[in-house]
Amino acid sequence: MGLPYSDKVLDHFMNPRNAGEMENADATATEGSPACGDQIKLFLKVNPVTRVIEDIKFKSYGCASNIATASIITEMAKGKTLEEAKAINWQTASENLGGLPAVKIHCAVLAVDAVRSAIDNYEQEHGLIREKAPTDEKRIRERLKHVINPLTGLDVMQVNFIRSIEITDGIINVHVNMGKEHQFSGNILEEIKERLEPLWDVKEVRVIFKNEG
């Protein structure tokens, strides 16, 4: 039995706007949903002078609601400044879609989080942040929230996947509870780097697997 989706949701699901990848994106972000283990990746092209989002694309590994919300949110964000785009929330996205079933709200939240993270990454990389406090373990743990282990669909921060974190002169060592030979070690490595490298004062991110000391 299907969920009661509006025509608009179905339309955006069947004909998603802005779906796909982007080469030479100015910022990207991957977000995972702790509620369902699904993921979405976002790509941004930003005008360096006006800070207007000139292009935006998404790749969803989530459900119909996630695809539909990502589609409408990217449509809403295109042509807006970063500041304006930050104000987009799941409520407006859902309203513009004619409503979402309550059990599917986390799918819209996932899409909104991805847009906000991509904007945040852009701002970090371009030094557009107001407070340049040095990166500490708290910020790193915050940024690694919702990294999903593809094998289990679980949030790595919630399952003590990270053994320890060291920060020395802009170099971050993240020790993880996973062997290098694991089939998803490459995904995890990529995602941890993607989340930490944009931080304004970070020079290098190293992920140390279990058997590497």
Catalytic sites, residue numbers: 36, 107
Verify binding: residue 72, ligand FES, rule CB under 6 A: no
Give 27 or 108: the residue with its C-beta nearer to ligand FES: 108
Verify binding: residue 33, ligand FES, rule CB under 6 A: yes
Q: Which one of 36, 154, 167, 208 is in contact with ligand FES (CB under 6 A)?
A: 36
Verify binding: residue 117, ligand FES, rule CB under 6 A: no
Give 18 or 69: the residue with its C-beta nearer to ligand FES: 69
> CB of residue 18 vs ligand FES: minimum separation in angstroms?
17
- C-alpha 29/C-alpha 42 separation (Å) is 5
Verify binding: residue 38, ligand FES, rule CB under 6 A: yes
> CB of residue 66 vs ligand FES: minimum separation in angstroms?
4
- C-alpha 213/C-alpha 28 separation (Å) is 31
Q: In this structure, what token pair is assigned to residue 206?
A: 């190293």
- Cα three-residue angle 47-117-92, rounded to 5 degrees: 90
C-beta atoms surrounding 116 within 10 Å: 17
Verify binding: residue 154, ligand FES, rule CB under 6 A: no
SS3 per residue for the chain: CCCCCCHHHHHHHHCCCCECCCCCCCEEEEEECCCCCCEEEEEEEECCCCCEEEEEEEEECCCHHHHHHHHHHHHHHCCCEHHHHHCCCHHHHHHHCCCCCHHHHHHHHHHHHHHHHHHHHHHHHCCCCCCCCCCCHHHHHHHCCCCEECCCCEECCCCCCEEEEEEECCEEEEEECCCCCCCCHHHHHHHHHHHHCCCCCCCEEEEECHHHC
Verify binding: residue 94, ligand FES, rule CB under 6 A: no
Verify binding: residue 30, ligand FES, rule CB under 6 A: no
Site string for ligand FES, 51-70 (x = CB under 6 A): -----------xx-xx----
Site string for ligand FES, 175-194 (x = CB under 6 A): --------------------
Give 110 or 196: the residue with its C-beta nearer to ligand FES: 110
Give 63 or 162: the residue with its C-beta nearer to ligand FES: 63
Residues forming contacts to ligand FES in the complex (CB under 6 A) are 33, 36, 38, 62-63, 65-66, 107, 110
